[in-house]
Amino acid sequence: MTVHISQTEPVQQFLKEASGVFNDAGNPRVKTLIHRVLKDSVKIIEDLNVTPEEFWAAVNYLNVLGSRQEAGLLVAGLGLEHYMDLQLDAQDEQAGQLGGTPRTIEGPLYVAGAPLSQHEARLDDGSDAGTPLFMQGQVKDIDGQPVPGAIVDVWQANTGGTYSYFDPSQSEFNLRRRIQADSDGRYRFRSIVPSGYGCPPDGPTQQLLDQLGRHGQRPAHIHFFISAPGHRHLTTQINLAGDKYLYDDFAYATRDELVAEIRFSDDQVKAKQYGVSGTFAEIDFDFTLQASEAPKAQQRGERVRALEES
């Protein structure tokens, strides 16, 4: 039998005490957030009659989640990171900040400090026998004018679905580069066609997804930060058309405007021009930035990232 005490005055006062509401030290914003977390948590415990066994299983789950460093993976898999994008989209719409390439989730695998190249770059180190990929495009503003010198910060997985830095078998900054677009806002790079991938099958994220009857797979994709003075920073990614999981992404990152057509070719005349032989792939994709004079809007949001100084 459930005893309903969460809304009683003694419990409400206790939650305020536990949140530091009654003292003058600490951080007021953190106190407000923790107070709400505690209020909602005890309500869940009460409403759903959470047993001590379930409670401590959840506590242990958090321990395992942290030890495996999968918290960033879990918030993507539960749709919370996508929800943050939806909330920002709604705020933009309300403020009349419309147009441009849509944002979508960053994910947990960015690494700061990739080498900066002028106008073009090769992302891969040549050790992966994947299909060569040649991608190019233009960074423009919402009026269709080029954004000269925009920075295209790009990172992707290899054919095994893993990322350099997090996969120690890869060379430093493999499949990661920053490219400064030319005077017409154009960029291009050579890489390899990335593979989709899934959550670690033995990890806590997949363990929870199994309980929800869900898979943990992502379609093949390429991540981008696009930035330029006088423009809003863009966090986005393209998902490759034709992938099995294109519209069944466990992280909910696919948006129609971000589906990139990938063209595979065996044209050996063109392959020779690219400096390769055999099958290769091409992607053309333009990015459109909104204007902004606000310095904060021109920078990527603050969060803990690998090799990024605080």
Contacts of 74-77 with CB under 8 Å at 24 or more apart are 74/204, 74/205, 74/208, 76/105, 76/107, 76/108, 76/250, 76/251, 76/252, 76/253, 77/199, 77/205, 77/208, 77/209, 77/214, 77/216, 77/250, 77/251
Catalytic position from the list 186, 190, 221, 231: 221
Catalytic position from the list 223, 232, 233, 255: 223
Residue with tokens 């073009």: 120
**For this structure, is 186 an active site residue?**
no
**For this structure, is 218 an active site residue?**
yes
Catalytic position from the list 218, 232, 233, 255: 218
Catalytic position from the list 82, 110, 163, 245: 163
DSSP string, 222-274: EEEEEE-TTB--EEEEEEETT-TTTT--TT----GGGEEP-EEE--HHHHHHH
Angstrom CA distances, 74 to 81, 111, 237, 287, stand at: 9, 19, 19, 29
**Amino acid letter, residue 171:** S
Report the Cα 28 to chain-centroid distance in Å: 29
Angle at 44 (CA atoms; ends 39, 49), nearest 5 degrees? 135
**For this structure, is 4 an active site residue?**
no
Q: What CA–CA distance (Å, rounded) separates 219 from 222?
A: 10
- Which residues are identified as catalytic? 163, 197, 218, 221, 223
